[in-house]
A and B are shown apart, each in its own frame.
Chain A
Amino acid sequence: MHIVACVKRVPLTDIQVKVAADGKTLDTAGVEYMLSFYDELAVEEAIRTKEKLGGEVTVLTLGPADASKELRECLAKGADRAMVLPDNAWGTRDARSTAKALAAKVKELGAQLVFTGRVATDRDQGAVGPMLATYLGWACVTDVVSLELTAGGGKAKRETEAGVETVQFSLPAVLTCDKGLNEPRFAGLKGIMAAKKKSIEESTAEQVANQANFDKLELPPPRKEGRILGEGAAAVPALIQALRNEAKVL
């Protein structure tokens, strides 16, 4: 089975955000990047699935041409191929544009199973996975926390407000990975050496014009300065008073 893990490069999660001069985009000067946290889970699950059921894993990203650092790490962990669809506008593509470009490439690769993260920790949309599946006409389960694959399909669990859902799905499928599904491995020395010999493939991203507009980007308004009501249990009456009479939430 050909398995694809779709991954995205995102800013480190502990950056202080600055808005660019256009007032619409992120100031990327000095920003360092990582693979989106949930995409690490997708890569791990793809490799584990290959180890269990056999097949081949391709890690696919639509991103900057220099995304090879992240991709090489995926190769070192056990992915067979890594492919980048270079696009200077990767950071501003909307979800539909990204999903369509990935769908075209996944089809071309002849994959049957796609893993990706629940959400990319930059735009926080969580839209590309289910959109990709819809454009391909495939089954999709989002926010997967446990997975059991069988011939032709599988069962996945996802956590919702109501409890834990078990979703039965057919293959081909797109599965988006949530925390709890697995613990990503570290690349071993042997893997790192082997990855150095592999090449990062480049392919063309289908151009799809954006529909969504980013009209404005701003920092959240600073919260009004709060106050310390006191120390220890002695401050509890003051807190109850404030919650009831001032904040009116009690």
Chain B
Amino acid sequence: MTTIVVFVESAGSTPRRASLEALGAASQSGASVVAVVTGPNGPAVAKALGAFGAAQVVVLTGADQYSPDATAKDCAAIVCELKASAFLVAASSTGKDLLPRVAALLDCTPHCDCTALRWSGSASGTRPILAGKAIATVSGGGGVFCASLRPNCFAAVEKAAAGTVTTRAASSARLAVVVDVSAKPGTKLDVKEAPIVVSGGRGLRAPESFSLVEDLAAAFGTAAVGASRAVVDAGWRPHSEQVGQTGKTVAPQLYIAVGISGAIQHLAGMRTSKVIVAINKDAAAPIFKVADYGIVGDAFEVLPALTAAVKAAKG
């Protein structure tokens, strides 16, 4: 039986959803799955992973501060020792940073931000390029198939496995170390991870009116706020919220575009969303061409009504 190693990230002592999706993708392949966790909460995170298909969990100890280069060395060493056939991470900020380093240490080529994997015969992956304007099928890459998986594209699978926890001392040679993480205010979800994204554009006319977008996101409970390039360039919203070719590519269950006309660069960043809703004054706006449902109307009129209706529906 082949082995797949998955690096699992956590928020506090909870494994991140996108990492559980990577575990799910690994266990779907039929391989034996080994999870790697690090950080002060490693032991607590490790306990949860047997339920998501991990036969074994390696806890890196002594690494309270995260070092990407040291963690890469540890992951590569574990992959080599177990003669694993694949190494998977979530295509998060940390995962996208870690994967190429591990691949280089294994002298392999990574496949980043995959939206689907196939394990029959040799492994292959599907990954959007040119910000989603084209989809490439990729394979090979050396002895170990190294891939990062786009959040919300794979299912986390609840599957009981042994979940045997072992510890391993983390590499002490470190070239870079995360010395501080200033958490986002409140419980704001990141636009890449959130199952629902409500994005605003120029149609909101002023930065203050983004409160309407925030209200709708809050009504859903599990939604993040996104923004078009135009409003980020205008300084209304931070770049971390930008969806599109020079921002983030997202694939939520539900994407609501408010006052966004739908420039090709924006469409590239959100067209793989499961359901797209567009609210725009201009019935000819290109955003309606990719939307499943559209409302022609002014954001200032539609948003408060929609927020109230969502609140009522959520009961």
Q: Could you tell me which A residues sit within 8 Å of B by CB distance?
A: 11, 13-17, 19, 26, 37-38, 94-97, 99, 121-131, 133-135, 138-143, 145, 155, 158-170, 173, 178-180, 210-220, 223-224, 226-233, 235-237, 239-240, 242-244, 247, 249-250
Q: Known: A14-B264, A226-B288, A239-B293. Is A167-B137 also a contact (CB below 8 A)? A: no
Question: Which residues of chain B (67-116) have a CB below 8 Å from chain A?
Answer: 68-69, 72, 92-94, 96-97, 99-101, 103-105, 107-113
CB distance from A142 to the nearest CB of B (A): 5
Q: Can you list 14 A-B contacts with CB-CB less than 8 angstroms, sorted by A residue number?
A: A127-B103, A127-B112, A128-B100, A130-B68, A161-B93, A164-B182, A169-B175, A217-B129, A218-B135, A220-B133, A223-B276, A236-B295, A240-B309, A247-B275
- For residue B134, which residue of chain A has the nearest CB? A17
Q: Known: A142-B97, A220-B134, A232-B302. Is A250-B310 also a contact (CB below 8 A)? A: yes
Q: CB distance B100 to A127 under 8 Å?
A: yes
B110 partner, pick from A125, A133, A216, A235, beta carbons under 8 A: A125
Q: CB distance B104 to A226 under 8 Å?
A: no
CB distance from A223 to the nearest CB of B (A): 5
Residues in B with CB closer than 8 Å to A230 are: 295-296
C-alpha spacing A218/B134, complex, angstroms: 6
Q: CB distance A226 to B293 under 8 Å?
A: yes
CB distance from B92 to the nearest CB of A (A): 6
Is residue B179 contacting chain A, with contact meaning CB distance below 8 A? yes
C-alpha spacing A126/B100, complex, angstroms: 8
Q: CB distance A212 to B111 under 8 Å?
A: yes
C-alpha spacing A196/B166, complex, angstroms: 62
B275 partner, pick from A37, A141, A173, A243, beta carbons under 8 A: A243
C-alpha spacing A243/B101, complex, angstroms: 42
What sequence of 0s and 1s flags, for each residue 39-66 of chain B, a beta carbon within 8 Å of any chain A beta carbon? Answer: 0000000000000000000000000000
Residues in B with CB closer than 8 Å to A229 are: 293-295
- For residue B314, which residue of chain A has the nearest CB? A250
Is residue B183 contacting chain A, with contact meaning CB distance below 8 A? yes
- For residue B291, which residue of chain A has the nearest CB? A226
Residues in A with CB closer than 8 Å to B196 are: 249
C-alpha spacing A16/B302, complex, angstroms: 33
Q: CB distance B294 to A220 under 8 Å?
A: no
C-alpha spacing A243/B141, complex, angstroms: 41
C-alpha spacing A166/B96, complex, angstroms: 17
Question: Which residues of chain B (170-206) have a CB below 8 Å from chain A?
Answer: 175-184, 190, 192-193, 196
B290 partner, pick from A134, A166, A223, beta carbons under 8 A: A223
Residues in A with CB closer than 8 Å to B192 are: 161
C-alpha spacing A26/B133, complex, angstroms: 11
Q: CB distance A236 to B302 under 8 Å?
A: yes
Residues in A with CB closer than 8 Å to B274 are: 247, 249
C-alpha spacing A163/B182, complex, angstroms: 6
Q: CB distance A133 to B101 under 8 Å?
A: yes
Residues in A with CB closer than 8 Å to B181 are: 160, 162-166
A211 partner, pick from B109, B184, B288, B296, beta carbons under 8 A: B109
Residues in B with CB closer than 8 Å to A96 are: 103-104, 107-109, 141-142
- For residue B273, which residue of chain A has the nearest CB? A223
Residues in B with CB closer than 8 Å to A250 are: 254, 310, 313-314
Q: CB distance B104 to A215 under 8 Å?
A: no
Residues in B with CB closer than 8 Å to A167 are: 68, 176-179
What sequence of 0s and 1s flags, for each residue 246-267 of chain B, a beta carbon within 8 Å of any chain A beta carbon? Answer: 1101000110000000011100
B178 partner, pick from A123, A166, A242, beta carbons under 8 A: A166
- Most B CB atoms within 10 A — which of A11, A155, A235, A237? A235
C-alpha spacing A250/B245, complex, angstroms: 28
What sequence of 0s and 1s flags, for each residue 271-296 of chain B, a beta carbon within 8 Å of any chain A beta carbon? Answer: 11011110000010000111111111
A227 partner, pick from B112, B178, B242, B293, beta carbons under 8 A: B293
Residues in B with CB closer than 8 Å to A212 are: 109, 111, 138-141
Is residue B240 contacting chain A, with contact meaning CB distance below 8 A? yes
- Most B CB atoms within 10 A — which of A126, A210, A214? A126
CB distance from B175 to the nearest CB of A (A): 4
Residues in B with CB closer than 8 Å to A124 are: 112-113, 127-131, 249
Is residue B305 contacting chain A, with contact meaning CB distance below 8 A? yes
18 more contacts with CB within 8 A, not counting A131-B104, A236-B306, A247-B293, are A13-B131, A16-B264, A124-B131, A125-B113, A127-B109, A140-B176, A141-B176, A160-B92, A163-B182, A163-B183, A168-B179, A178-B239, A223-B276, A224-B292, A229-B295, A233-B305, A237-B309, A239-B293
Q: CB distance A244 to B313 under 8 Å?
A: yes
C-alpha spacing A122/B131, complex, angstroms: 7
Q: CB distance A220 to B176 under 8 Å?
A: no
- Most B CB atoms within 10 A — which of A139, A169, A249? A249
Is residue B169 contacting chain A, with contact meaning CB distance below 8 A? no
C-alpha spacing A139/B239, complex, angstroms: 25
Closest 9 CB pairs of A and B: A139-B175, A134-B104, A160-B93, A233-B305, A127-B100, A169-B176, A232-B297, A216-B137, A161-B190
